[in-house]
Chains A and B, each alone.
Chain A
Amino acid sequence: MKTDISHTFALAGNPNAGKTTLFNHLTGARQHVGNYPGITVERKEGYVLENGQRIKLVDLPGTYSLTAYSAEELVARDFLVNEKPGVVINIVDASNLERNLYLTAQFLELGVPLVIALNMVDVAKSRGITINTEKLSELLGVPVVPIIARTGIGTKELLATACQVAAGENSWQPLTISYGEDLDATIMQLVAEIERHSFLTERYPARFTAIKYLENDEQLIVLGRDESPTVAAALEAEVNKVSQHLQKTLSVFPEAIIADHRYGYLKSVLRNGVITQTFDSDRLYTSDKIDKVVTNRLLGPIIMLAVLMGLYKFTFSWSELPVVWVEGFFGWLSATLETLLPEGPLRSLIISGIIDGVGGVLGFVPLILFMFFGIALLEDSGYLARVAYMMDRIFRSFGLHGSSVMPFIVSGGIAGGCAVPGVMATRTLRSPKERMATLLTVPFMNCGAKVPVLALLIGAFFTEYKAMMMFLFTMLAWLVALCVAKFLRITFLRGEATPFVMELPPYRYPTLRGLLIHTWERTWQYIKKAGTVILAISILLWAMMTYPGLPSSEQARFTEQRQTLMAAAAPEVVAELADERDHRSEAAVELAEKLTLIDQQEAAAALRLSLAGRIGTALESLSQFAGFDWRTNIALLGGFAAKEVIISTLGTAYSMGEVDPEAPDSLSERLQRSENWNRVIAVSALVFIMFYAPCFVTVACIAKEASWGWAVFSMAFNTIFAFTLAVLVYQVGMLLHLS
C-alpha cells in the first residue's frame, strides 16, 4: 500500500451545508486541526484511503461566495488558487439548491476541477423536492453525486468519482456566464489587457480577475497594485468608467448586475427540469415551529437564561469530580516525587515550579472539556445563532456583535466561568475588530478563580451583605467589560459595525461523533499550550519567588531558634514528633505548633527577600495609593499566574503558611485584624483583582488567538485601568472615612 499522498482534495461549500459532517465521516480520527499561518481561521486536514491511494482532504471554511468578505472566504479562495487542489468537492444542500449553487457558479467561473456532493437528499425529499441529478450534472458540466452525510450514504461513490476526476488530467476549464451587454464588453477589454501583461495569470484565470475587479474585490485590487501599478491603474480606470455609466443609466453598481446574472444563470439551469417541487413552499417546517417559541419576544429571553444556566450547571457540576481526580493525580505525583528526590533546588523546581504550575493549568482540562462539549452542543444544534440574534441589539450599542454574548457568558458572565474557553469561543466572531474587542474584555468577567478571592474578601469585610455584594460585583464586571469594549471600539479598534446578515441554521440533532471531535480538538489545543508557554512561565514565576533566598546568617538564625526550642523540650516529647502517631501529648502538639510558626516566619522572610518580594516592596511606593502593602503586592504578582494563587500567597505572606483556597476562614480573620487592611482597601483590592492583567493561561490564549502584541496590550492596559480604578476607590473611600 502506498503511503505517499496521491491527491489533495478540498472540501468546500456554504456554512450549514453539512461540510463538517462529511469531513468527519470521511476522515474519522485521521484528522488534525491547526491555524492558517498568521490568522486564526482553523485549518482542518484529514486523510482518506481509497483504493490504496492516500488522499489528503482539506476542509475549507464555510463560505457563501468567493469574493472576499471575511477571513474565511479569503482563506478558501487563496487555498484554491495557491495550492491548486486536484479536486474540489463542493457540498451542496439539496433542500436549498439555488442559494447553494451561487458558490458553485463561482467555482465554475474559477475553473477548478469540481465534483458536487448533493447532500441531504432525504431532507429535500421529505419537503417534496426531487432533483434530477443527471440533468443537473449535464447542465453544469460536472459530476453530481447525491449523498446523505449524516449516515454516510453515497460517500463511497463520491470518493470514487472524485478520484476519477483527479485521474482525468483535466486542466482548469473556466465557465463563461454572460453578464449583459455593458459588462460583457468591459470584461472582454479587461481580459485582453490582463492577458497582454500576464497580469496575475499565474494564480487566476484572466476572466476571473476581470470579474473580481468589477465586483470591487478589495483584496484582489490591492494584490493587483502590488503586481503592476500601471496595469492595475488601467483596469481600475476601465472599471470606473463602466461603473459610472451603469450608475447614470441604471443606477446600479456592476457587482449588483453580476449577482443578478449569476442567479439568473442558476434559475435557468434549475428550471430546465432539474428540480420538481410537489408541496407548498409555505409550509412551516419543524425548525420554524421551534423558532416561534424559542425566539419569542417574551419566552425567548427566559428560555435563553434557562439554557445558559443549564450549560453552567452541566459544566461545573459534571466536571467537579474529574477535576478532583486530576488534582488528586498531581497531588499524588508531587507527594511521590517529594519522597524520591533529595531536598534542594531541583526538588523545589520540579514540585513548586513545574508540577504546581502546569498541574494547575491541566487541572482545568476536565472543566474546559465539559464547557466545550456544552458549547459544541449549542453550536451544532443551531441554538447559538439564536442567542446572537436575540442579544445583538444590546451588544451593538457597546460596539460589539450579537455573537459576542457566548464568550462573555463562558468567561464568567454568571460568576464562575473561565476566560480561557471564553477567549477561544471568540472564534465564532467574523469581524476582526469586534472579535478583538470581545477577546480583550472577556477576562474582566468573574471567572471561577476569582470567586474564592471575592468570597474571602467579602466574607472578611462585608459579612452581613455577602449575597448582595457578590451580585453587585457580578454586575460591575458586566458593566466594566461592556464599557471598556465600547471604549476600545471608539479608540484602538475603531471601525464600522459588521453587518448582521446571518443565517439562522435549521435546528439539527448534532451527531455524537461531531461533538466529540469538536470538543477534543479544542481541548487538545489547550493541553498543548500547557506544555509549552505555560511551562516556561511557571518556571520563571517559581524562580522569582524562590531566589535569591535567605542569606546563610538568616538561615542559621532560624535553625538556632528551632534548636533552642528542641533543646528546651523534654527528650520524650521530641521523640514523639519523630514518629507519626495519631495521638500526641499536649506538650508535643504545642512544640509542633511553635516549630511550624518558625517555618512560616522563615518562609515569609525568604519571600520578602526573593525577587518577587523585592519587587513587591519596591512597588509599595506606588501601590500605597491604592492601599496595598508589599505582601498584597506579591499576592497580586502571584495572581498573574492564576488568580487562586492570590489566596495562597496572601497566606504565606501573612505568615499563615499554606492556606486552602476553599476554606480561607483563618486568613479572613487574620486580614480583619491586620492594620494593613480595612473595608476600603478590600473593595480597592477586589476592583483591582477583578480587572487587572488576565492570568497567564488567558494571556497565552490571547497571544495564540490574536498576537503577542495584543497579549502584552491586554496585560498593560488592564493593569493600568484596574490600578486607576483601585486608586480612585481607595482615595475617595478614605476621604469619606468609609473604612
Chain B
Amino acid sequence: MASISLRALPPGQRATISAVTADGELGRRIRDMGLVPGAEITITGRAPLKDPVALKVGTTTLTLRNNEADQIMVAVPH
C-alpha cells in the first residue's frame, strides 16, 4: 500500500484515507464531513480549472480545494 497525498490521486481510483494532517478549523471541518482515517474515497471529478476536486465518501459527494487535499494522505491498494 503506497501512501500518497489526495491531490495526486487519479480520478476513478479507489483509496483509503490513512491520515489527516490538517489541524485547527480546517482539520475539524474535514473530519466533521466524514473524511477520517479508514474512510474509503474515490475522486469523481475536477472543476473546469482543475481545482477544486470532487470526491465520493460513502454516498456523499464532497468538494475540496487542492491545497486542502494536500493535507489528506491516502493509501492506494495495489
A interface residue numbers (CB < 8 A to B): 64-65, 67, 69, 95-96, 98-99, 102, 127, 215-216, 253, 255-256, 259-260, 263, 281-282, 285, 287-288, 291-292, 295-298, 300-301, 389-390, 392-394, 396, 402, 499-504, 506
Q: Given A96-B58, A301-B48, A65–B28 Cβ distance below 8 Å?
A: yes
Chain A residues with CB under 8 Å of B1's CB are: none
Task: State in angstroms the CA–CA spacing of A440 and B46 once bound together.
Answer: 30
Question: Do A69 and B28 have beta carbons less than 8 Å apart?
Answer: yes
Which B6-63 residues have C-beta < 8 A from chain A? Answer: 14, 20, 23-38, 42, 44-52, 54, 56-63
Question: Do A215 and B47 have beta carbons less than 8 Å apart?
Answer: no
> Taking CB as reference atom, which chain A residue is nearest B65?
A500
Question: Do A390 and B59 have beta carbons less than 8 Å apart?
Answer: no
Among B25, B26, B31, B49, the residue within 8 A (CB) of A393 is B49
Question: Do A500 and B48 have beta carbons less than 8 Å apart?
Answer: no
Task: State in angstroms the CA–CA spacing of A127 and B50 once bound together.
Answer: 31
Task: State in angstroms the CA–CA spacing of A95 and B64 once bound together.
Answer: 22
B60 to chain A, nearest CB (A): 6
Question: Do B28 and A215 have beta carbons less than 8 Å apart?
Answer: yes
Question: Do B54 and A291 have beta carbons less than 8 Å apart?
Answer: yes
Question: Do B23 and A253 have beta carbons less than 8 Å apart?
Answer: yes
Chain B residues with CB under 8 Å of A95's CB are: 59
Interface centre among B32, B51, B62 (most CB of A within 10 A): B32
- Specify the main secondary structure of chain B where it touches its partner: mixed
Which B57-76 residues have C-beta < 8 A from chain A? Answer: 57-65, 68
Question: Do A65 and B32 have beta carbons less than 8 Å apart?
Answer: yes
Interface centre among A288, A297, A500 (most CB of B within 10 A): A500
Chain B residues with CB under 8 Å of A501's CB are: 26, 29-30, 33, 35, 62-64, 68
B64 to chain A, nearest CB (A): 5
Among A102, A253, A298, A392, the residue within 8 A (CB) of B51 is A392
- Not counting A295-B54, A393-B52, a sample of 15 additional A-B residue pairs whose C-beta atoms are within 8 angstroms of each other reads A67-B32, A69-B29, A99-B60, A216-B24, A255-B23, A255-B28, A256-B27, A263-B38, A281-B58, A291-B45, A295-B48, A300-B47, A394-B49, A501-B26, A504-B54
Interface size class of B (residues with CB under 8 A): 35 or more
B34 to chain A, nearest CB (A): 4
Chain A residues with CB under 8 Å of B56's CB are: 288
- 20 A–B contacts, CB within 8 A, in A order: A67-B28, A69-B25, A96-B58, A98-B58, A127-B59, A253-B23, A255-B23, A255-B28, A256-B20, A260-B36, A263-B34, A288-B44, A295-B47, A297-B46, A298-B48, A300-B47, A393-B47, A500-B64, A500-B65, A503-B33
A243 to chain B, nearest CB (A): 10
Question: Do B45 and A292 have beta carbons less than 8 Å apart?
Answer: yes
B15 to chain A, nearest CB (A): 13
Task: State in angstroms the CA–CA spacing of A287 and B56 once bound together.
Answer: 12
Question: Do B47 and A64 have beta carbons less than 8 Å apart?
Answer: no
Question: Do A503 and B61 have beta carbons less than 8 Å apart?
Answer: yes
Among B25, B38, B51, B62, the residue within 8 A (CB) of A504 is B62
Among A96, A98, A263, A390, the residue within 8 A (CB) of B47 is A390
Task: State in angstroms the CA–CA spacing of A362 and B51 once bound together.
Answer: 42
A328 to chain B, nearest CB (A): 45
Task: State in angstroms the CA–CA spacing of A330 and B36 once bound together.
Answer: 60
User: Which 9 A/B pairs are nearest by Cβ-Cβ distance?
Assistant: A259-B31, A393-B49, A65-B32, A99-B34, A64-B32, A504-B61, A500-B65, A297-B48, A499-B26
